[in-house]
Amino acid sequence: MSTQILVSDIQRFSLHDGPGIRSTVFLKGCTLHCPWCSNPETILPQPQPMVRNGKETICGKWMTQEQLLEELLKDRLFYNERSTGEFGQLPGGVTFSGGEPLAQIEAIAPVIDALHEEGIHVACETSLYVGAEKRDRAMELIDFFYVDLKILDAQRAMRFQRGDVGLYRKNLDALLHHTRDGKRLPVVIRIPVIAGYTDDQKQQNAVCALLREFFEKGCPPLKAELLKEHSLGAGKYRSLGLPVPGYQGVEDALMESYCRSVRETGIRALVCRV
């Protein structure tokens, strides 16, 4: 191993990024530019100046594959704790997030292989806005997927996210139909509900139609998580010298109504609040 990986942060003892206890690796560089992003420091694919605690620093560092693996193996004892909840008996492990982790899938592939050799479970959180080659490589390697479901209107997605919805739909279809050793990969859908972007009725209807389609095809995700808009990333924008998004907030009543609509598709759904 020798290729370098651009890492924004490594968060240890994570409990919400997959089964069990995990280390979450935030990779730097994203294929989208969502105006509500809560991790703006992970968007640009290069280190950048940032002010933390009143001190100037650089956000993002290049790590060799060996360095990253060494860091992740430090927590291997925690990974052995198995989840006994909604995901059955799956173990803890490592989750790659971002940014868009699949943008660096070839760089992290040897790390994932080495983790698997150590019996460590690997998950990722992805927008799926990547080419088919990267998608297919990820489906060979990753054990568990969190997939964001954002703006589905093609024109609005391109305008606000700079993303091709057609590409997303193809990738999601491929992922939900993919099998490994005769079993479909576990996929959880995460739906950010953002005022002015993803909270309107047209978007809700499109999301439910898409999820119902996969349910009727017999390849539904494990569940859907509706993520309520929050402003916890505001300080990061200030630290980067960027304008803070105009967070408006979403009412609890809308979240509950939306969640009920998703459940009517046949897919289990819940509202997640920060």
Residues facing residue 80 across a β-bridge? none
pLDDT on residue 264? 98
- List the one residue out of 194, 204, 255, 191 whose CA is nearest residue 230: 194
pLDDT on residue 16? 85
Quick one: pLDDT band at residue 271, thresholds 50, 70, 90?
very high
Residues facing residue 122 across a β-bridge? 94
Quick one: pLDDT band at residue 3, thresholds 50, 70, 90?
confident
- List the one residue out of 254, 260, 273 whose CA is nearest residue 198: 254
Bin 182: left if φ > 0, else alpha if -120 < ψ < 50, else beta: left
Average pLDDT over residues 57-79: 95
What homologous superfamily does CATH list for 4-272? Aldolase class I (3.20.20.70)
Query: What are the boundaries of each domain within the chain?
Result: 4-272
pLDDT on residue 90? 83
- pLDDT tens digit sequence for 172-230: 999 999 999 999 999 999 999 999 999 999 999 999 999 999 999 999 999 999 999 99
177 — phi, psi (to 5°)? -90, -15
What is the rounded CA–CA span in Å between residue 114 and residue 112?
5
Which token pair is 55?
């001190």
